[in-house]
Structures are given as C-alpha cells and as structure tokens.
Structure 1
C-alpha cells in the first residue's frame, strides 16, 4: 500500500513511504497548522501576513507536511447535522491475538470514523457515525458477526459540546489568531443533499482541494461548485478540520474518560470541560456514564492532573472508567501509521449501507 508503485483503492488517497520521514514539527509547521485550524481554505496570501512568511514558502511547507502525512485537512458533517442516535462511542473486547487485524478490518469501514487500540476495560474504542439511528443500529448489530469480538458496549452521544475541529494548537499569538478568526455566522438549517455530500467526500480527502479540481472530479461547472461550497461550508452543514500527527506535534498521550455527573450539573460540567486546554471532545452520552471527554496530553502524568482539575470544579462528578490510547489506527477517516501520520483516507461516507462482515 505504501510503495511508490502501488495505487490506492478508488475513493482513497495515500502517502508513500518515501515521503513519510519522521520529524518533529518545527515552530513554523505548528504555526501553519494552527492557522489552518482557524482558516482551513484560506489562500496562502491571506496567511502570509499573520505568519510573517511569504506565500510561496507557506505553500511549499504545506506540500511537505501534506505529502509526508504529518498534517492534513479533512471534512465531515457538522455537529448540527448529528441527531441523537447517529453518533456513538463503541467499546469492543476481543481475543488478544485479534486486536490489530480486527482494528484494521473495522478501520476499513466508513462508519467507524475513528479506531483506537486502548488500555482499560476494552481492547478497541470506535467512534461510529451513521446517517440515521437505523443505520447506527445496523452497524452495532453487525459487530456480533465478527467471531473475534467477545463483547461490545455502546455509548450513544446525546449532545456534542465540543469536538476536535474546535481544538487549537495555540502556536499563534492572540493577535495572529484574531487576524484569522473564522466567520461562524452560518447555521445548518438543512440536511446535506446528494450533491453536497459528494462535495464533502472529496473535501474529506483534501480539504484544500482547489475549486477547479473539485469541479473536474464532480463533472460540474466551477460556478456550481462555488455555490455548493458556500452552502456546505458557509452554511455550516460541514466542518473542515486541520489535523497534525499528534506525536510529532508534542501530544504524546491521549485518553477517553467516562464520567457520571448529577443530571442537574451535566450541562455545566460538559461546558466546563470545554474550557480545559487538554479537552479535545466533550459530549453528553446515554449510558452508565453520562459524560465523555477525549483528552490529549503531553505525558501520562497530565491525566491525573486533568482529573484533579475537573474534580475540584465539580466534586460530585465521578470518573467511572478510562480508555488510554495505545495507538490510533484511524482518526476521523484517516488511517494512521505508528507515528500518527496519515497514510490513507477512507472518506466518511456515513450514508453508505452497512456491509455484512
């Protein structure tokens, strides 16, 4: 899959081993990723001023980061498109020798948008998205057909308080960030139609793909594609997200916490979590736990400090379980190598019927 002579399957993009050099991201790399977190499709000329670097240099930097899998821009349905029952975290237990091959099989499915090998009460943790509650049910029930799986536990998301596209590296100063603040006036008042879904799946492969290239892939005039882009992105129906290989960006550990908060304090606790620097995701869930947080840390010692800060603010909140990530196999549609670099894209086509394993 990674050789220079190999071609990725249709609908997927991949990097090559020759370009996947392991290197820590430098200050300009981190600043560029931070800028693209704020303005993922901004032209290089717009980013040149805030970053203090000419447009040609930024273009070359991004090409290197993208081609090596060290950073990428993807696209998926916005939180406003998510209804209760169409997003879930699924804990999976399996035979020890089956963990990695099973993770690879599940990661090939578009509905399993993220797959992690974890330490804790389960072996794998899946983030599952579907176009409807019926399709979510189909996916969860399909897991029973995998002979390697010995058990599952599903946590349906009731409300997303924060998700990964809202998290920032903070490599830029406040002044630089203000220059790139996005327009958040749009709202997702309609569901994505078929044309918009097709566009979104192309942006999932490369969120910075030029309009001309999008038009060629879709077989539509550029003027039509510009209108679709305005409706999908400006209308708040899809989210662009710039990611970086977390290990090379200084985030050495990640974990998911399952917590129980008194119902009267649930929303306040969930919103408070969004204010903590290490919180990547905060969600109310329907299970024994009613609150989940995905936490990114510079080291494992940070996890106890994170829990202490949360406990000091909400003494009645209890941590019920922890899933510490051993390795990310897939994150939001991107297959990752052991260094966290993107090696292949499986577009998050959550409208596709759930396959039978």
Structure 2
C-alpha cells in the first residue's frame, strides 16, 4: 500500500478507531456504510503497511505511578542517528523526536520515581557514545495527550453513532495492578485490537478472565487504548514544538484552554522556567506563525520562548517509525 492509495474511507476508518479502538467490524462497517469484511480488510492493509495501528498507554488513574521526563540532548557530530536508535530501543523510552535547534533530540522517558531518573541520566545518557550534553525537566501535569488528537474525516452523525451517549460517568476506583494486568498492558501495547482469545492464550489466563480484566483496566482508566496513524497520511504532516512560560497563577487555566484547541496534540507543564510544552500538528510549515499568533492572542498570560520543527520521530510510544511515520518495528514497554 502506498500513501497515494489511502483514500477517504481509510481515513474515516482510522478516525472511527480513534473514537472506539476495539469496536467490532460490524459496528464499524455499519457506521461507515461498508460491510464488516471490507472494514476488516481495509484495516489489515493499513496495519501491515505500518500506516495505522492500535496501541495502549498507561491511563490517568496510574499516571501518579510514573515520573515523566522530557530530556533535550545534544550529540557529537555524526552520532545523532546512532543515539536516536539507541534511545529508541530502550523500554523506558516513550518518544524520541529529532528537532531543529542546538539540542536536536527530545526524548520522553517514563520511570517510577525521580531517583530512577537520576540513575538513568548518569547510568545511560552520561555513558552513551555520542551524547554531548543533556537537560531534563519533569512533567508536573498533563493537559492534552497525543492519544486524544483526532482526524476530522467522519460526519457528525457517524461520530454520534460511535461516541457513548449520556453524561460522563465517574470511573470506578482503580484496583491494585498485578502481574496479569501488566502482561495484558504489554500485549495491548503491541496490538490494541488483539482478540480476547489471543490475549488469554499469551497471558496464560482464560478468555473470560481476559475480558473481565481488560474491561476493568479500561473502565478505571488504568489503561487507555489509542489508534495512531502515520503523520504523512493525516493531512497534518508538520509537527511544531513550542516552549513557553506562564505565571503559576495562570498556568492551569491557560494550559486547559490551549489543550482544547484542535491543532494542539500535546500540552503539559514542566519544571523549570519554561514551564509549558506544546506540540502542534499543522497543515504546512507557513501555518506556524498564524497558529502562534492565535495562541498568544487567546492566552495573554502565555510567553513563547522557543519553537522547533520535528524532522523525524524515530520512536512513538514503542513504535519504531520511518521518516514518513510508518511503523516498522516494536519495542516492548517498561511497565513497572
């Protein structure tokens, strides 16, 4: 499958799976106006080509169990590719972005505690060939996560048919996570649409237990499923990374306002003087000044300090990506 062969039905299918990642083929086909076999065949072609996939991330109920660090890395000349590859192969790594600027690598790492990050910086980065220097900041709050970004390919009636009705309900309290839950997380991270029979077989449990466990993990927001697509086929092929600052008194309200904007894929607060990080997906590079003007116009407390363009994301939540965003490999996640 080439990029040119991705049509509106493919994009609508991806959009539908962003809303309901484990929906049945019959439900998806009914919503999209195709038979279930066609929907399943289309998805398999996209998945095999590395153009779309369903994965799993740790949900909000367990965010307190991880310390997320955003690490800017400068490399010695000629070593950027090898450093990016080495970082991408580590289970602790969530993302690796190759950016413009004097610290061209931005690695996002998840570890249990700040003390583990100290060991990571001294034991991994300080000893990694090619690393010249690094600067790390900790995430203090997440306001907009990449998994919440959506294509805009579905009609309103189609979205309504897939999205749950009624008022938002309060999720039940998260239960203690055990070895079986961690095994299911790793399997769903590999393939978020893995059938329950396969989940049960590989986790060494019954299918009924797999269904019950997965349902509990999702209902309690301990895990969150997400459908991703190669950025090159989405219509928003440019990633901009903005570093900004906001007075502490305005930080929460400003970050929540920015996270709700459709161009914003990530919004989180960090330690340090540049206490807000934004990642935007844009239609084209000249769109950046317009978006920056809009952001600062809508949020007067915001001061932009640095902007960079992402040239390549080698690792996106464990998927190893080509420069055009195709998934070509997989790294099992660190699950604590």
Q: Structure 1-normalised TM-score? A: 0.89
1:70 to 2:46 alignment: no
After TM superposition, the runs of 4+ consecutive aligned structure 1 residues lying more than 4 A away are none
Alignment partner for residue 118 of structure 2, among 130, 134, 137?
137
Report the secondary structure of 2:224's partner residue: strand
Question: Shift in Å at residue 174 of structure 1?
Answer: 1.9
Task: Give 1:127 deviation, angstroms.
Answer: 1.2
Query: What stretches of structure 2 of length at least 5 have no aligned partner?
Result: none
| Counterpart for residue 330 of structure 2 | 345
Where in structure 2 are the equivalents of 1:12-51 lying within 5 Å? 21-23=2-4, 25-51=6-32
Deviates more, 1:237-246 or 1:296-305: 296-305
Q: Contact 1:121/1:323 (CA < 8 Å) preserved in 2? A: no
Task: Supply the distance in 1 between the matched residues of 2:278 and 2:216 (Cα, whole angstroms).
Answer: 31
How far the C-alpha of 1:193 sits from its partner, in A, is 2.1
Aligned partner of 1:166 in structure 2 is 148
Asked if 1:88 corresponds to 2:69, the answer is yes
SS at 1:247's partner residue? helix
Query: Is the CA contact 1:187–1:237 (under 8 Å) kept in the aligned structure 2?
Result: no
| Matched residue, 1:355 | none
Q: Unaligned stretches of 5+ in structure 1?
A: 1-19, 352-357
Cα pair distance change 1:182/1:236, threshold 3 Å: farther
Q: State the alpha-carbon separation in 2 of the partners of residues 192 and 46 from structure 1.
A: 31
CA contact (8 A) 1:270 1:283 kept: yes
Contact 1:81 1:191 survives alignment (8 Å): no
Aligned in 2, Cα 1:145/1:182: closer, same or farther, shift over 3 Å?
Answer: farther
Secondary structure of the residue that 2:78 maps to in structure 1? helix
SS in 2 for 1:154: strand
Shift, 1:244, TM fit: 0.4
Structure 1 SS opposite 2:325: coil
Q: CA deviation at 1:187?
A: 5.1
1:244 matched to which residue of 2?
229
User: Could you tell me which residue of structure 1 aligns to residue 139 of structure 2?
Assistant: 157
The answer to whether the aligner puts 1:180 opposite 2:162 as a matched pair is: yes
Instruction: Select 2:314's aligned residue among 310, 320, 329.
Output: 329
Q: Please, which moves more after superposition, 33-42 or 312-321?
A: 312-321
* Cα distance in 2 between the residues matched to 1:78 and 1:191: 14
Partner SS, residue 97 of structure 1: coil
> Structure 2 length as normaliser, TM-score?
0.94
In structure 2, which of residues 76, 79, 91 is the aligned counterpart of residue 98 of structure 1? 79
Contact 1:131–1:350 (CA under 8 A) maintained in structure 2: no
